[in-house]
A and B are shown apart, each in its own frame.
Chain A
Amino acid sequence: MVEWDPELNPEERQADASRGLMRSALFILATLTVTIVVSFSIASIFQGVGFSEMLLLFLRSTVGSTGSLLRTLTRMTPLLISTLGLIVAFRSGVWNIGGEGQIVLGAVVSTGICLFLGLPPPLATLLSLVSAFVAGGTYAAVAGYLKARWGVNEVVVTMMQNFVSLALLQYLIDGPWNWGKGLYPRTEMISEATRLPYIASPLSSAFIIALAIVAVLHFLLNRTVVGYEMRAMGDNREASYAHGIDVHRLSIFSMMVSGGVCGLAGSGLVLGQFFRAQAGISGNYGFYAIASAFIAGNRASLAPLSSLLIAFIYEGTLALTALGLPHRLCEAIVGVVFIAVLLPRGLKWLGGDR
């Protein structure tokens, strides 16, 4: 989002970048405000729900109290982890849009390990995190391999993979892994000792894992050779190839890391929030993460802000369902913000300034 101007010295460039960032943030907040005002107006005209009532509930349930703040941060955790996962791929110019499927797979694998292997608790938790990373990573790496080996379009493959793993989850919780109690399709709960400890209920230490991943990926992308190669490949695949970067191997690698991190998001949902696999556990976070990654301009350091923004919208609109508003409002608001964020880039192109 921030343009590179070779005329500027480092300090000026820094100042320019932060000005650009400030502008983007203000623009996003303005768009969000307008969208909320418009949608609440529609709801109050047609449904007769009070405008201020909606606004108050929205704010109270997201930032109004310690409890609601903690819920917003809980919502933010899987979003942040999967956003980071997608950023790794997007920065490398590889389209991993299978975050949702990788989250699901991570959740399934985590649940399976905690429920059926009978390992001692700390080992079960650790193995379940590692396996979720490996499972999500391998799953995404299939798409990376197909792209590298035969030029198969990874957008299509990762998207299709989403449905396959969602179906796998559905099959397991309906059939072999079903709890056998209640109508709601889900598995048994994992034992308390295998769960991630709370920071303050309901916020689990998965949040700390998420923040640690921010640091790790920021370092990987900006301070290591492989990160440099990834970004170079993302900027220009042909040129990177010509400069001797093994783009095939690197595509598979970045897909693997990307899918692995998304798998961790699924593991965190099981170990820190639901303690079981159940229908809808992935909460569409993998899809929202695509919006989140783009709002963050594909930068790991900005991912916490964009994930917080989407968690805020998610949690607020969820509370509004109590007033009879559909939760689809969340998708609509995120959609508007998403497209609004893209617009300035397009308009700049229109002016010929590139």
Chain B
Amino acid sequence: MVHETVISILSFFPVIGLAALGGFIGQKGGVWNLALEGVMAFGAFSGVFAYYYLGGSLWGALLFSFLVGVVVGSLLSLLCVRLGLDQIVVGYGLWFLTEGLAGFLYYTTLPSVRIDKTFEPLFISLDPFFYLTLTSYIVLHIVMRRTRQGLALRAVGENPRAADVAGIDVGRVRWISTALGSAFVSLAGAYLSLVILQGFTYKMVAGYGWTAFALVIFGRWTTSGVFAGSLFFTFLIGLQTRLQVAGFQLIPPEFIVVLPYIGVILALSLAGAVGRRAGMPSALGVHYERE
């Protein structure tokens, strides 16, 4: 009983985990992506779209939505990194655009699609995608710590001028990190629509994109912190829905949902109060222009 509950809660992990991972990669390179919520919705739409029009393969649909994420991230990068527009403003514009387009295009271009396929469990009743998410975190952790690419990514997020002097192409690294980050966020959305909900619904992303955004900050911009935060929050969502279904509640569900948001405000304030930097990349949100 307990075992099954834990498994079913964990099956939601890829949604939160991948979205937070994507947000993490983007911010680490020094670019805010405030459009996570919209990118996720757009990924969810494009997954179902590809499933319907491109032959009904789950992996194919997920890959398609990953690529769509690359395109959306590249647009963000074009506007912020190349053209130097304000990242917060562009992020908001992109949020409107992607979330609006996802809803509009879904209801106009698709009939109500029901996804009838699902992944076979790979190991202890969890599907391959769960393990793919875990692997992504491990790979990312190693890349960030042990490789030249990881160092370059951290460098452009912390000190783009020094990175530039050291021969790193700041614009290129930021473009790659923004595009790759969006791709993972988009993938998280596609997993939500294709596998968890088996269809697209209005408001399906339900704040998970913003949660992911918060988890990056809450995880103090470290892979282990973001991972732990995502896992913790996955359990929180799972427990809350199950308690609600079971008909009793310790605290109103509205307040459980806002816990990560309050947590973020407290964590940031506390870090500020004790004079720590909270781990935030120093050049996050700052446009870099070569002299």
Contacts and interface: CB of A to CB of B under 8 A. Distances in A.
A binds B: yes
A338 B92 contact: yes
Closest 10 CB pairs of A and B: A328-B103, A150-B272, A331-B100, A335-B97, A332-B100, A346-B83, A335-B96, A338-B93, A160-B261, A326-B107
Given A167-B257, A346-B84, A335 B104 contact: no
B96 A153 contact: no
Contact of A349 (B83, B105, B202, B207): B83
Interface residues on B, range: 35 or more
A46 B106 CA distance: 11
Interface of A: 39, 42-43, 46-47, 95, 97, 146, 149-153, 155-157, 159-161, 163-164, 167-168, 170-171, 174-175, 287, 290-291, 294, 324-336, 338-339, 342-343, 345-347, 349-350
A167 B207 CA distance: 12
A42 B105 contact: yes
B254 A171 contact: yes
Interface string B114-133: 00000000000000000000
Given A159-B210, A332-B101, A339-B97, A149 B272 contact: yes
A46 B92 CA distance: 29
A26 to B, nearest CB: 20
17 contacts: A43-B108, A95-B88, A152-B269, A155-B88, A156-B268, A164-B261, A167-B257, A168-B254, A171-B252, A290-B89, A326-B202, A330-B100, A332-B101, A342-B90, A342-B93, A346-B79, A346-B83
B102 interface: yes
A291 B96 CA distance: 9
B262 A349 contact: no
A172 to B, nearest CB: 9
B144 interface: no
Contacts, number: 148
A215 to B, nearest CB: 26
Given A151-B272, A332-B97, A334-B96, A342 B264 contact: no
Contacts of B97: 331-332, 335-336, 338-339
Contacts of A163: 207, 210, 257-258, 261
B92 A160 contact: no
Contacts of A97: 88, 92
Interface in B63-118: 79, 82-85, 88-90, 92-109
Contacts of B94: 335, 339
B248 interface: no
B214 interface: yes
B223 to A, nearest CB: 20
Contacts of B255: 167, 171
Nearest to B102: A328
A332 B93 CA distance: 9
Contacts of B96: 287, 291, 331-332, 334-335, 338
A338 B91 CA distance: 11
Interface in B214-259: 214, 217, 252, 254-255, 257-258
Nearest to A170: B254
A334 B100 contact: yes
Contact of A328 (B99, B210, B272, B273): B99
A125 B213 CA distance: 39
Nearest to A169: B254
A136 B212 CA distance: 26
A345 B83 CA distance: 9
Given A43-B108, A47-B108, A152-B268, A175 B252 contact: yes
B7 interface: no
A192 to B, nearest CB: 31
Contact of B108 (A294, A325, A339): A325
Contact of A160 (B105, B109, B265): B265
Nearest to B252: A171
B168 interface: no
A164 B262 CA distance: 7
B269 A339 contact: no
Contacts of A342: 79, 85, 89-90, 93
Contacts of A161: 261, 265
B280 interface: yes
Given A164-B258, A345-B85, 14 more contacts: A39-B104, A46-B108, A150-B273, A152-B265, A156-B214, A167-B258, A291-B96, A326-B202, A328-B104, A334-B96, A335-B100, A342-B85, A346-B85, A350-B82
Nearest to A327: B103
Contacts of A146: 265, 268-269, 272
Interface string B186-207: 0000000000000000100001
A301 to B, nearest CB: 20
A153 B271 CA distance: 12
A338 B265 CA distance: 29
A334 B104 CA distance: 13
A339 B254 contact: no
Nearest to A345: B85
Contacts of A46: 108-109
A95 B84 CA distance: 18
A40 to B, nearest CB: 10
A347 B104 contact: no
A350 B84 CA distance: 9
Nearest to B261: A160
Contact of A335 (B34, B98, B210): B98
A346 B76 CA distance: 12
A149 B270 CA distance: 11
Given A164-B258, A326-B202, A328-B107, A339 B265 contact: no
